[in-house]
Chains A and B, each alone.
Chain A
Amino acid sequence: MVVPAGAVYPWPQGAPSRVPGAPPTGGRKEGAVEIGRPVRTRIVEPVEDPVPKEAPREPVPEPSPQEPAPAGAPAP
């Protein structure tokens, strides 16, 4: 899913605290967890997809066609 415009922080440095249509929180100090300054950039390519797959659904067994009763056999 791509986040629609306006739905993801950040707030740009130096921007006014209130801009029409912007979230009311405003200000870089309020933007997110205070995780500090950038140190380095990493490229992370997981071997396995971190998003869990849907649990496989139990296949519904198809009813087996009833074998035709042998000729002369009594009806069940």
Chain B
Amino acid sequence: MSVAPDYAAPLIGWRAWAAVDDEHGLALGSVVYATRWPPRERLEAVCVHRPRFGLLARLLRIDPHEAPEEGCECGIYAARTPDLALPYLGRQALVRWSGSPLIGRVALWGRVIECERGWRGTFAYPTHLYLPRATLSRRQGRDARALAGQLAAYGVPVDVLEARTTAGLLAELEARMGALAGAP
């Protein structure tokens, strides 16, 4: 039995990424786990509890299921507002790669768990990327404009943010959101 959809357009949230170079070229990567977001392809969530933890999952009575599920924590995450995603700009060191941090808006669709301050979805794709110039280290030697040009492979707008503080970045993002809302 099919279920009537609640929305006919994706839900839009905020995320942080790291732009990383790997054997397949430059791509977005999640900042907490080593998940690669390929250009021009939707990312699909899978719950890996059972295969990863085997006996432990069985002991915890975690049954295999489609991601996301309300009783689990799986799914592709997005925050409702940019201030919740901004702290993750500094966390790219937690993943197995180090890359240039980005923040941006992401579309979620499929089964989407609506949470108090964001969502967890089945499918995701970025809709707008923001590259804070201040987060590019001199060691990386990256030019923000050139990097933004490379990220154009995703087929979504890529803007360079000039603010140098978290508060400044948030103000710049909110100003750009206001400009987007006012666009025809």
Contact = CB atoms under 8 A, between A and B. Distances in A.
Interface of A: 1-3, 5-15, 19, 21-25, 28, 30-48, 50-55
A11 B73 contact: yes
B74 A35 contact: no
Contacts of A38: 70, 113-115, 120
A64 B67 CA distance: 55
Interface in B161-179: none
Given A14-B60, A44-B121, A23 B32 contact: yes
B81 to A, nearest CB: 10
A19 B48 CA distance: 13
B112 to A, nearest CB: 5
A23 B53 CA distance: 13
A39 B41 CA distance: 29
Interface of B: 3-11, 14-15, 32-36, 38, 40-49, 51-53, 56-57, 60, 62, 67, 70, 72-80, 84-85, 88, 94-96, 107-121, 123, 125, 127, 154-156
Contacts of B119: 35
A25 B80 CA distance: 23
Residue among B14, B36, B67, B109 having the largest count of chain A Cβ atoms under 10 Å: B109
Contact of A39 (B42, B60, B116): B116
A39 to B, nearest CB: 5
B52 A35 contact: no
Contacts of B110: 43-44
B52 to A, nearest CB: 6
Nearest to B113: A38
B34 A50 contact: no
Contacts of B45: 3, 8
B4 A43 contact: yes
Contacts of A10: 47, 49, 72-75
Closest 7 CB pairs of A and B: A36-B116, A35-B118, A52-B155, A10-B73, A45-B5, A32-B77, A50-B107
Contacts of B118: 33, 35-36
Given A3-B43, A47-B8, A51-B40, A15 B56 contact: yes
